[in-house]
Structure 1
Amino acid sequence: MYKYDDYDRNLVLERVKQFRGQTDRFFSGDLSEDEFLALRLQNGLYVQRLAPMLRVAIPYGMLSSVQLRTLADLSRTYDKGYVHFTTRQNVQFNWPQIKDVPDMLQALSDVEMHAIQTSGNCIRNTTTDQFAGVINDEVTDPRPYCEIIRQWSTFHPEFAYLPRKFKIAVNACPTEDRAAIKVHDIGLEIVQNEQGETGFRVFVGGGLGRTPLLGSAIREFLPEKDLLTYLEAIIRVYNQHGRRDNKYKARIKILVKALTPEVFAQKVEDEWQHIKDSPAQLTNEEIDRVKGFFDAPNYDTVESTTSFEEQVASNKAFANWVKRNTNEHKVAGYSIVTLTLKKTGIPPGDVSDDKLELIADLADQYSFGEVRIAHDQNIVLADVKQTDLFDVWKKAQAAGFATPNLNMLTDIICCPGGDFCALANAKSIPIAEQIQTRFDNLDYLYDLGEIELNISGCMNACGHHHIGNIGILGVDKKGEEFYQVSLGGCSGLDASIGKILGPSFAREQMADIVEKIINVYIENRTDEELFLDTYRRIGMTPFKERVYAKAH
């Protein structure tokens, strides 16, 4: 993984020093609440419903075991002993005191972490596939390009005050999109042309929130050396033409839709002609330098053995976990392991300090001291020998991380909702627990097959409800919490925005409503169909008729 040089280190330390001074001035009364607001947001510090919240960047989802242990220690010292991993591969502390945040940022800087640009109208954390660099069918490892974008976008003077927040995601897998690039402001798909040259298909104008839209392809092939200059051209056009008079219409997706993707693309091309040969054009030397930080670890040659197959054959629970929670690795004898953070009764994405320490131990012992944070709020050990899988499973099982429900109905993506967030209209966590409790039979879940269920507490869509096969949105009706359901969303290569089922439901109805939806699927599916396939074939009407049918 990338290691700081002196420039990186000094940049982060200067920011910590600067914010410490700003915090001191705030407490001394030299800065008003409004003046401090913009400064704290630039350092990832929010004030939520019950307490401040500090959001810390995890660039493209990668963490070392040392960094994990630091997060654990900070959660014990300054918080309530747990952290929350988000859908954008960040981590949040939900209960820090403002006065302690400079000390937290100092401790984070000691292990090459920071909260820079995790808030505000700037380019946020660049995200990618949690299996980057280890999955078999990717075009190339996307992480070096994410790191190049991170370095370029950090404190870029032109992009400090964009019309609205800005998010970039990168995918390098031609068969699956685990980075959800089509619902980002810019989505980059790494491709190769007929000459075998690496480049990017560029999508612009995706996003969720109040106006969910899928990104449009504005360039089919961008040479890799032109990555930064073309991104700069896109954001310059956005900076020049994006709306600043209405924050609800300020995202780039609104601009692209208003201009049309064709007109927007032409404006980008026109702008790009002025800067494409500027010093921001990448060189092979710079690309190779950054790629050098992502060299493969020293994999062992794993001799074939019958013990692993025997363990799978003799232990059904272990076999289920291997089938559901591991993926084939590009190196023979290794597997990719996903630790599921979706045990019933624990909010999705939450991990306690002692469990963080345990994950760090697992990473050190079995996966070269590294972990990845997934878009679906789970944790990945990317490099585990198959001969070690049984030991990893036993330890993960004891810690509650081995529920073999990955990609199943109860592997719910969920924002913190009204339990924490000041923006939320309704609570999300109790809905997740209600559904997980109702569908707690693994055999039944396996029979249902893969179903993505996403929950957001408000229209900001931090739980990505628009792209869940089943999406649930908390809404406020005269001070009461209700929930709106959508169907048919998808974040993959065939991305789609879910359509609203109909009027909203009370909290106590939600498990019943989901069960009715699932029953319609069971009654109408063919043997090979997943939920999304059946929905796309039969449409909304059968689901609507069942859910809103009056009891006789």
Structure 2
Amino acid sequence: MYTYTEFDRQFVHARAAQFRDQLERNLSGELSDDDFRPLRLQNGWYVQRHAPMLRVAVPYGELSAKQLRQLAQIAREFDRGYGHFTTRQNLQYNWIPLPQSADVMDRLAAVDMHGIQTSGNCIRNITSDALAGVAADEIVDPRPYCEILRQWSTLHPEFAFLPRKFKIAVSGAAEDRAAIAWHDIGLQLVKRDAGEIGFKVLVGGGMGRTPVIGSVISEFVPWQQILVYIEAIVRVYNRYGRRDNAYKARIKILVKAEGQKFFDAVAAEFDNILTHDTEGGAHIIPQAEFDRVAACFVRPAGVQPVTVSVAAANDATDQPQAYTRWLERNVHAHQVPGYRAVTLSLKRAGVPPGDATDVQMEQAAELSERFSHAELRVTHDQNLLLPWVRETELRALWQAAKEAGFATPNIGFLTDMINCPGGDFCALANARSIPVAAAITERFDDLDTLYDIGDIDLHISGCINSCGHHHSGHIGILGVDKDGAEWYQVLLGGSDGSTISGAPIPGKVIGPSFAAEEVPDVIEAVIDTYRQERAAGERFIDTVRRIGITSFKTAADAQRHLTARATT
């Protein structure tokens, strides 16, 4: 993990002290709410439907046991005893009183954490593959580049007030587990035959009202120049992006409208920075600085290749089915022989997806200390992951994870869904998403059924802002408002760009919206159609692409009529 320098620590503590001064002046009436709003937003503080919400940055998803214990303590002392892990690899609190917010910022700074730029019209938290540094298919470890990007973008004076929020994702593996095509900028690390390392750059991706897949703007940018290239992109966006309409202010709208003109403007700005920026020079990454940062991401002491197979380490011939299923779904290949990465599932009946109590956070921290060199990751799918687990300790980890409620063997299944907090908390939401998620989880809370259905990405958003990434789900659910009532659109065939999902593409709506009580029946009708139509060994997303959405739409409409008759 990245180790904060004395400068880094002084920086976050100074930021916390600055926020305390701003808060005190606001509470005393010296600083108006309108003037305070952009200041609190760039420190991660929203005012939501019922109470303030804090979004804590977890850069590229990497978290220490010490940090997670502090997050648990904050949840216990300042919130209502839990937090919510998001698709942006952050943690959100929903009930912290604003007068106590400065105390929380001090607690975060004490463990090298903050909420800087987790909100506001700026470059947000840099996200990446939760398996970064351990993935068996990794080309280049993206974490040093993510950290350099984080430092460069933090409080960047030129990009503090962009037309809209701006999100960057980085992948360093053959499989895209960071959904880079759905971001304002997506970066794919590549290595040429001669060993030269650089980035394939995508620009203009995004969800919201207008889902757009990012376009490749450059096939190869040398790693030393990547900050310059991103600076060129963001400068062009900052110069020409719309500021008169929040719905048309994202970079995807500018890229879609201008096309090649946007690409040419970026190329010209890139060349201009490289050749004419004499005031401080272009931000070329020095080898010495890269080496300094990269030295923080070496393997933990004691992690050495071991020639022991999973079967031999766990005597798989005499194991309970729950354990073998956990091995299959929650345990992942590793680049170091004798090690595995393990997902701690935050998805089970009765709990909103992504939520963890203060006790569970402490239990997860303890598991990381016992089994993973005190290191965890927050995943894009709102789970936690232990990256350094010895194969010989998998059985012991499973037993401990089961006792803590983390061992549900459903990773990649329907109930391992992505879900935003929705209308229960968010002031922007049109509908609640948590009750819908709970009803679907209850309906499909049978592992034999889930294993028969197989891999499905289910994503639920409470509004068009798409925090639940409904566009990229194999099945997407979007909450909408109809005359003050909560209704839900269902989409099919979306993809985030992973190997299972295929090329990134937005899902298609399968008809008029459904009432909340109809949604579980509709999802069951869709699943039943898949089970009737699938070819041998065919996954849900493959069946949808082969036969189209008509049969699924017909089944959903028929279920709507059945539900209507049953309630009259």
- Choose which of 484, 508, 512 in structure 1 pairs with 2:521: 512
Q: 1:311–1:390: 8 Å Cα contact kept in structure 2?
A: no
2:554 counterpart of 1:545: yes
Give distance in 2, aligned partners of 1:545 and 1:371: 44
Give distance in 2, aligned partners of 1:209 and 1:367: 37
Deviation at 1:308, TM superposition (A): 3.0
**Equivalent position amino acid for 2:532 in 1:** E
Report what 1:322 is aligned to.
327
Give distance in 2, aligned partners of 1:138 and 1:332: 14
| Secondary structure class of the residue paired with 2:399 | helix
Structure 1 range deviating more: 291-300 or 206-215? 291-300
Report what 2:465 is aligned to.
460
**Equivalent position amino acid for 2:264 in 1:** Q
Report what 2:27 is aligned to.
27
Structure 1 range deviating more: 32-41 or 299-308? 299-308
Q: 1:470–1:485: 8 Å Cα contact kept in structure 2?
A: yes
Q: 1:409–1:450: 8 Å Cα contact kept in structure 2?
A: yes
Give distance in 2, aligned partners of 1:427 and 1:376: 19
Deviation at 1:301, TM superposition (A): 5.0
Report what 2:149 is aligned to.
149
Report what 1:275 is aligned to.
273
- Choose which of 536, 542, 554 in structure 2 pairs with 1:533: 542
- Choose which of 259, 263, 266 in structure 2 pairs with 1:265: 263
2:360 counterpart of 1:361: no
Give distance in 1, aligned partners of 2:122 and 2:515: 37
Identity over aligned pairs, percent: 55
Report what 1:480 is aligned to.
485
Q: How does 1:214-225 map to 2 (within 5 A)?
A: 214-225=213-224
**Equivalent position amino acid for 2:87 in 1:** T
Report what 2:120 is aligned to.
120
Alpha carbons of 1:544 and 1:25: their partners in 2 closer, same or farther (altered >3 Å)? same
Deviation at 1:303, TM superposition (A): 5.7
Residue deviations 1:475-513 (CA, integer Å, cap 9, x gap): 111111111101111102511101111100011111100
**Equivalent position amino acid for 1:239 in 2:** N
Give distance in 2, aligned partners of 1:483 and 1:308: 47
Give distance in 1, aligned partners of 2:536 and 2:261: 45
**Equivalent position amino acid for 2:546 in 1:** R
- Structure 1 stretches of 5 or more lacking a match? none
Q: 2:345–2:411: 8 Å Cα contact kept in structure 1?
A: yes
Deviation at 1:297, TM superposition (A): 1.2
| Secondary structure class of the residue paired with 2:315 | helix
**Equivalent position amino acid for 1:397 in 2:** K
**Equivalent position amino acid for 2:373 in 1:** F
2:407 counterpart of 1:408: no
Residue deviations 1:37-63 (CA, integer Å, cap 9, x gap): 122112111111111101110000011
**Equivalent position amino acid for 2:487 in 1:** F
Q: 1:311–1:318: 8 Å Cα contact kept in structure 2?
A: no
Deviation at 1:331, TM superposition (A): 1.0
Q: How does 1:383-394 map to 2 (within 5 A)?
A: 383-394=388-399
**Structure 1 vs Structure 2 CA RMSD:** 1.3
Deviation at 1:6, TM superposition (A): 1.9
Q: 2:41–2:119: 8 Å Cα contact kept in structure 1?
A: yes
Give distance in 2, aligned partners of 1:313 and 1:478: 58
Give distance in 2, aligned partners of 1:516 and 1:146: 42
**Equivalent position amino acid for 1:73 in 2:** Q
Give distance in 2, aligned partners of 1:46 and 1:268: 33
Give distance in 2, aligned partners of 1:70 and 1:276: 43
Q: How does 1:152-231 map to 2 (within 5 A)?
A: 152-174=152-174, 176-231=175-230
Report what 1:90 is aligned to.
90
Q: How does 1:426-445 map to 2 (within 5 A)?
A: 426-445=431-450
| Secondary structure class of the residue paired with 1:138 | coil
Give distance in 2, aligned partners of 1:483 and 1:385: 44
Report what 2:278 is aligned to.
none
Report what 1:284 is aligned to.
287
Q: 2:308–2:337: 8 Å Cα contact kept in structure 1?
A: no
Q: 2:308–2:391: 8 Å Cα contact kept in structure 1?
A: no
| Secondary structure class of the residue paired with 1:218 | strand
| Secondary structure class of the residue paired with 1:103 | helix
Give distance in 1, aligned partners of 2:446 and 2:75: 33
Give distance in 2, aligned partners of 1:287 and 1:227: 12
Report what 1:423 is aligned to.
428
Structure 1 range deviating more: 510-519 or 296-305? 296-305
Report what 1:304 is aligned to.
308
Q: 1:72–1:354: 8 Å Cα contact kept in structure 2?
A: yes
Deviation at 1:195, TM superposition (A): 2.3
Deviation at 1:33, TM superposition (A): 1.7
Residue deviations 1:504-525 (CA, integer Å, cap 9, x gap): 0011111100001011111111
Residue deviations 1:393-447 (CA, integer Å, cap 9, x gap): 1111111111000000110100001111111111101101100111111111111
Q: 1:193–1:221: 8 Å Cα contact kept in structure 2?
A: no
Q: 1:81–1:353: 8 Å Cα contact kept in structure 2?
A: yes
Give distance in 1, aligned partners of 2:94 and 2:320: 39
Report what 2:298 is aligned to.
295
Q: 2:164–2:249: 8 Å Cα contact kept in structure 1?
A: yes
Deviation at 1:283, TM superposition (A): 2.1
Report what 2:504 is aligned to.
495
Residue deviations 1:50-96 (CA, integer Å, cap 9, x gap): 11101110000011000000001111110101111000000011100
Deviation at 1:218, TM superposition (A): 0.6
Alpha carbons of 1:64 and 1:312: their partners in 2 closer, same or farther (altered >3 Å)? farther
Deviation at 1:196, TM superposition (A): 2.2
Q: 2:54–2:93: 8 Å Cα contact kept in structure 1?
A: yes
2:345 counterpart of 1:340: yes
Deviation at 1:316, TM superposition (A): 1.2
Alpha carbons of 1:301 and 1:255: their partners in 2 closer, same or farther (altered >3 Å)? closer
Report what 1:349 is aligned to.
354
Give distance in 2, aligned partners of 1:276 and 1:289: 24
Give distance in 2, aligned partners of 1:11 and 1:303: 44
Deviation at 1:307, TM superposition (A): 5.6
Give distance in 1, aligned partners of 2:205 and 2:56: 24
Give distance in 1, aligned partners of 2:68 and 2:381: 18
**Equivalent position amino acid for 2:441 in 1:** Q
Q: 2:420–2:460: 8 Å Cα contact kept in structure 1?
A: yes
- Structure 2 stretches of 5 or more lacking a match? 276-280
| Secondary structure class of the residue paired with 1:276 | helix
Give distance in 2, aligned partners of 1:304 and 1:158: 52
Deviation at 1:15, TM superposition (A): 1.1
Deviation at 1:312, TM superposition (A): 5.7
| Secondary structure class of the residue paired with 1:178 | coil
Deviation at 1:263, TM superposition (A): 2.2
Give distance in 2, aligned partners of 1:300 and 1:172: 22
Give distance in 2, aligned partners of 1:102 and 1:312: 55
Structure 1 range deviating more: 12-21 or 459-468? 12-21
Give distance in 2, aligned partners of 1:194 and 1:123: 33
Give distance in 1, aligned partners of 2:362 and 2:464: 35
The count of aligned residue pairs is: 550
Give distance in 1, aligned partners of 2:362 and 2:541: 38
**Equivalent position amino acid for 1:131 in 2:** L
